[in-house]
Each structure stands twice: as structure tokens, then as C-alpha cells.
Chains A and B, each alone.
Chain A
């Protein structure tokens, strides 16, 4: 077995170079496609990154005369080898879009009045100071921030410091609508909320379980790692209720009823235990709660699992057999698992499965989770700036209730409210907020709710540190000067923080200065100097305690034990209670389910769109989209007299969406799928549609919102 050191790793990266290389001038001639054109006069090449999915593909942007003339994925990046997906390419259009907001504006009746940044900042400060003066000691929940996917870490750090130093604790992260269920379960049982290995370990594994993980469409540049795994002889099993681009990358797809993943996991656990196909020595030495686990999964015989999941019982047995026999297994948790109300218990069962088979450690084993690459220890820095006695922040449900009761005075609407289920109710609550500040790029549904707009730059227009999916930290240089008077988050929140908490808030004049301030203060970041990052196109993996330490690539549990207090796996949890499974809330198969909505609703991303926001403003992408479609099995469609191309309504207890039917055998009977991304305000018809979460009922697990698995109906329009 070849040692996976950095040199070999780079060779692998080079061998996976794809389309990025075709951007080289002169290549067309070499391939016999026409006359050679004069080379581009490139002034400089800048290191950038895509600001969409967490892979955050590193880019090489070539400028001539101040304009971007060539954008390629960085072929030297060891994680992406130069890949870029359509979303990343759309940034080039979006940054020049005529629809961009470029100047601060304050609401003036039904229209907007342009103001200066200084005036905008004064307005925000005055509203916050009014709030504090009026509510004296009871103001901590009255200023709220909906976090975006920050364009750089310095934006998030500056914002956190500004609000917490000023005494406000309600900074709402996207996680509640994303994968917080997974990150909380991983943190509870493994001691880290992140992936426990890096994606290159797919080259060393024997079995890849893409469990609800539609990688080809959610993390397109990472499809190459699945291909690399298969090329090395690994088996790839994909569990999803419908055919996707990922289906073509696997050896076998298991199409189970949506929302029943926990049942299947418990059925596999039952078989592993019954047949002894687990690591008894490891369990005896390092796992507690095994007996309770065995008891909890006993009812989930292959027949019972088959009944609930709609899989053949033999499939359950075959899956358990493959997992039990595998010497190295990587479990890739799809984001969708966190988006059912039974998600936490599902992920808990899957973690237990990896645990008792002792597939957490070493090359080719571990768990990868979506959004699993965020480096840690921000708290070590941020805690110095928190106001004394700052209460714990509230979750979105409590914040929505506070807004609806008129108990929130200022909202920084930095991201889409339409990412929450029953988003019309969230909108109604936001309409009761005293002062809404929109921080974004376009005049969309969020801007429409604001009293003040302070537009933000795109990642191409700002520098800062960022992280990818492997805990790697990299430095992005600004490629373009910021358009108009857009203001980077780190700058706006710095200015705000220095006005609200001048005694506490630190002084810095650039993202780089803030980065170095942070880096020097946090031991696990000390090895990640700005100078080092600037020389590392692939970034450098966190943690790094000193600059001369080797990079920590591969299985995170390098010491062969978990990051829990004693290194062992405790399967019992008084916080979570017993391991159980329940139907997703609103499931048409639950007891006493309403008969009106007999079909199972699912939604998700498609490869070329980001959810509810930016990519809807791309004309390039709109060319390949034809409005909302709903995918339905022929046996289901036939029952409604629906054929492909028919105009239909997807109806839920909250309302209905218009869509065009696509009848396909690539989805389970009784299940429908429609894409998540549409916006009513999209300027291009192909991207335009009603926001999906207007019809998604407000169901949650203990942490995350549910977006799938509830009942719906199809009606011919």
C-alpha cells in the first residue's frame, strides 16, 4: 500500500485534473480545433474561492485591465484538482449583474432613498442604543442576527464580537435549517461535530456508504473522490429514494422510503449484533451502553424493517452483511438526514453502527458529514469580547415568537427567512420587528422587509480567510474592487462594534489584521499564519499548533481514540433518552395521519442552484432551468391522471406550489420530489417560482427544522 504522504497526494490531485485545464490558451489549437489565438494579456492572477457549498473550490482568477478574463478551478488544489461547478462559474455573472444593490438605502415610504454608509451606520447605532436605553437590563434578546453563509471567517468573527460585546446573544446560525442535528449528535458521541476523516481517505476505503448523500449534486466537485474510491476497488452503496446524478457513481442504490433511514440503520445494527458481525473486543474495551443498544434494535427484524422502509427484507440482510464484512468503511451522512424530525435518532443509530464495527479509526474509515469541515476553537477568541452575564442565545422558534410579539427591535436580516419552514409565518413575525437591516446582494424578498439596506460584496470583491470541507483554512485575495459602496461584513460589524462597545471592541484595519489577531490568540491556530496560508493554494488543515508541524490529513482520531472525555464511545444518553424511531412529523403513514395528503413530500438541491438565493439571479443558469418541476412515479401519477408535462399543483396543509410534472421510474411510488431553490423575485423565468417553504409545515426535531417526509397531494391544475 502506497504511503499517503503529501507528495503522493499531490500526484493524485494532478491525475484528477479535469475541465479546468481546458482554459489554457492554445489548447484549442493543440486539439486541432482552429487557429491559435494570441495569448491573453494577463496582468495578475489572484487566488479566490467559490462562496457556495462548503467545498469552497479554490479558484485562479486572471485579470486583464482590471477585469476577470479567465476563471479556473485551481488545478493545484489537492481536494478539488481544479473542479468548478456551474454555481461557482455563475459568480462571474452575479458580480456584474445589473440587478445588484450597490448603495446603502433607507426606506422612504414605498420607495428607497440612497444614503451614505456613514448615515446608514448612524441609523443602526441609534436604533440599538434606543433599544438599550428603553429596556435597560432586559435587552439581550431584542437585537437579532440571522447569519448568512459568511463570505469569510472575519465577517462572522467581527459580527459575533459586535453583538456579544454590546450585550446581545441571538445570533442565529444557518445550522437549524441545515445539518445541526448531525453536528450535535457527532459532538455528543464522538467529541467532534465535524467529519472524522478527510475525503482523500475514500481512496483507502473498502466500502463507501452514501447515506442520503447526493454528492454529485450537492458537492459536485467531490464526485471525483467517489470515482477514485471505485477505481481503487471500493464498493459504493447509495441510499436515496430517487435517482440522481449520484446514482451513476455507485455500485448499488438502495431506494428506501424517505424518513425511514433510522429504521434501516437499526435493522442493520440488529443483524450485526445477532450475527456477531461487530468488533466484540473493541466494544468490551471502549463502548458503554451496548446492551441497551441491542435491546433497542431487537424489534427491527429484516421483515419489520422491510415493512416500514418498503425495501425487500433481503436488501436489509445484504446491506448488513456488506457492512459487517467490510474492513474499512466510510459513512457519508447526507444533509437530508438532518432534515427529518427523526433525524437525531437516525444519525445516532448510524454513529452506533460505525462505532460497534470499530470503523471510526485509521485509514479508509470514519464519518464524513455535509458541512463537516469547519475548524474549531473560535470560542477561545470570542469569549474575551462577550459582555458579562450574557445569556445563552435562543433558537429560531423562540426568536420567531419574540419577533411576532413585538419583542425584537433590530434584526440584521443577513440571510433568507425563506430557509425556514412555514416561512410566511416567519415573514409575518419579521414584519413586527422595529427595524430590519438587510445585508445582501439583490432586491429580493428579504430586502422587501427591510427599513435599511447596506449591500454586501461578493467573495470576489473582498479578501479574508475561509475554510473548505476538510477543515483546511485558506486565504482568499480580493479579485475586484468592491462595486458601488458595498461594505464587507468584517468592516460593517467592526464599525458597529466600535460604536456600541468602544472599550472592548478591538481595533483592526483589514481582514488580515483581524485574522492574525485571532490566530495568535488561539493555540490550535498558531501554525496557520497568514504568510503560510498565502503560500498554500490548497489551504492548511486545522488544527496546527506550530508552523513546522506536519499537516493533519486523514483520520481525525489519530491517537486511535475518540475525542470524548475518556476516548470511549458512550451509546447511552440521558440527554437523548432511549434510541427509538418515529415517523417524520406529518408523515402520511403515521397513525391518525390525515388522508388528504397521502403522498410523501421531498425537496433538495440540484447541481446548478443554491437554495432560495443568489443563483436565481443568474441568467446563465436560468437557461438550463424550466421553472419548478415535480418528479413522480408512473404508478402514482397514473392514479391522478397525470402525465409528463402536465401543469400540476403540489398541495400541502399550508398551501400549494405550481409545477410541471415529470413522470419517472427514478423515484419511489408515493413520493414526490421538487427542487428547493426558486424565488418569486428571480428576474429570469427559468429560476422563478414560489418559495418552497411557503408550503412546508413548521415541524422540527429538537434542533433542526424538517423539510421532507410530510404529506402532500398532487392535483392537476
Chain B
């Protein structure tokens, strides 16, 4: 913890960086004054980093003591300094784009609090959020650009939907590709054309596990193309391979899963589900159309409210649906007889990686002795293991948590306040009774076996 480094030590720098207070007492500065101040700060930062680099190479460590020494009042103890230290260090590498234009008071770059959370900082993206098309490499195909934007603002959301959309976009990339003279498709396409697309997509939103699996498959497929095959034929072959991949691994898989999950529903059941999963919805619809008498409880949570769509869709079909937020879970779970969960990924240690809140549902279901069934295509299985939700996760913009005109609207101006908007969590394998995949119903311990058979035997 860098906080422990902040013991007062003789400070090499003489320039005093302004205290982190201006956000609190808005200074009435003229434009000229502001300019001067900024210049001074810039100089100070430069001096600091230069000294820091000379004395102690790691910038964070260097900046820590310096700011500590500068502030003898020591009222703003470890936390503030640490955060400031980080701000200073990062600003020495790159300019942080300013986000807040709402507040009237001028906020200067170096004084801005780092609102990312120490624990999850490794998940924070370096690029600004919806990157827009500005930062896009010129090699990025328009279809992929569109997709990237759609994914970054959740228009295309959900592991399977993103997988299908990605493959469709890649198909367009393949179609509009011509091998430059003196090259072969096998050797040129993956590294020079496909990679920038993947990179761009990853910059819009981290790739899902299923996308990773599919991309690995696609690269393998491309590498298998014979170099003597004419361009047209090779491209056609790849496109049809993609089509059948989608058909087999997503469309048919979800059909198989839905029907075997629907078989598990019996008359009188109350199925509890969390957020929205297309395959869970499909299973419920299928069971309903088969004439089973059951009702559904949809548990939902902020900020995405994905469950609303599911609840509405099911209710429109005439199903009996209850809708509750996750805060009402422990009440709703008593009524349920089975819990159906969708998945973002199944880890090799049998843990379920899914929308944040799923672990809570799993835990509650377990403590009330309700069987938890996970509906998951094998394309979402991964050889990775997850011990916690910290190492692998995705952090969404914290502003999504803020209700417009709510008390937190100006949270960025509140000192010491951080918001954390995680996307996923990990549900322990002990909470899961069954994984329903297209290759059969298995216990969570068999995930690695199916992964080996399904995703790695393609070669």
C-alpha cells in the first residue's frame, strides 16, 4: 500500500503544488490568474517528476513523499495524498481528459481527485470511455466501428449477442478484403487486418470470453486456409465457416439448452431468474408453450435494469411474472422452487462469471436450499479460473450509477467519494447444482472436460 510510504520525509522539491482544496472553496480567479496558476503547476509537476525520476524511479513512490512533505498541516492524511500522488504520477505520463463540464467552478487537471478505486484500478481503461471514432485506427472497418460503438453504449449487450454481432462484422471485413500482391491471405489477414479490428473492439469494451473463444477459432480457421486457394474461394469458405459456427455453437446450442431446461420445469414450479439471459428467456417461453403451469420471478438490479425487458416479454406472452429488485431477493427466494441463471462465462474451476448480483442470488438460493441451474453454451466455457471477482472483471463508467438530479449528481465534486460500477461477479461452484449446456447437463466440476471437448478439440 503506497499509503504507508507517506511518512514525512525531506522533500527535494521546493515548488508547492496547490492544495487539493479548490474544488471545495471555489476560487474566484480571473482568466489571467488561472493561466498563471496553470503554468506554475505545470512547472512544478515537471520539476517534481524530474526530481522523482532522479531520486526514486517509481513515480508513485516519488510523488508520495514529496506531497507529504509539502503539506505540514497533515490534516488531509494518507488517503488524499495517495490519490493525489497517483494523479500527479499519471499526469506525468499523459493528460487525463477532463470529464466534468457541469460544475461551475473551474477544475484544474492536477487537482482533480482520482475517482478510480484503488482495488479495481487495474480494470480501469486507459482510453477514455466511448472512444468515438476519433481514436480509431484507420484500418478499422466501418462495420466494426459501428459495432464497437453499439457495444460501448450497450445497444448490443450480452455475451451471445456480442459474439454473433462480432462474427457478423468480421464476415464483412473478410468480404471486403483483398490480399495485397505478394502476400497470402493466411499470412496477411490475421496480423494486418483482423488484429486492428479486435483491438478496436477491445478498446470499446473488453472482449467477452465467448468472443475470445470465437476469435481463437477464427484465427485457427484462417491459418488452415490453403495458400493456393484463390482469394474468392477462401473468403467464401471462411464466411460459410463463420455462418455454421454461429449456427452450431450459438443458435442450435441455445435451442438445445432451452429445451433441456424447459424439461426441468414442472407444473407448479416458481422459477426465479436474475437480470436477462436470452437462453433463460427462451427456455421459459418454451416451457410455457409446452403448456407447463409455472410462474416466474424476475430479479433485477440497477443500473442496467436488463430484467425489465425480460419481465415485459414474458408477461406479454401471458406468463405469470413477478418483478423485484435485488434488494427484495431474500423475500422472493422463499417463493421460488428453482433458480435459472444465465452466464457470461463458466470458469474451469466450476465458478460462474455473470452479471454483478448473480453471486448474491446464488448464495441466497443456496441458503434456502433451492437448486440453481446455469444455462450456458459451451462457447462460453473458458480454461481460466476465477478465485474472486477482482482480478478479471469489467468496470463500467461510474456515472451510470448516478441518477440524474439525484443527490449524487455532482459526486465528482465530493471529496473522498468514489463510485464503483462493476459489471460481473463470480459465483462459487458450491452454489450451482447443474450446468445445462448443449452437450448435456453436467455438474460444475465437469466444465473443464466439456471445454476440452468443445472448444479445444476443434483443431
Partners in one complex: no
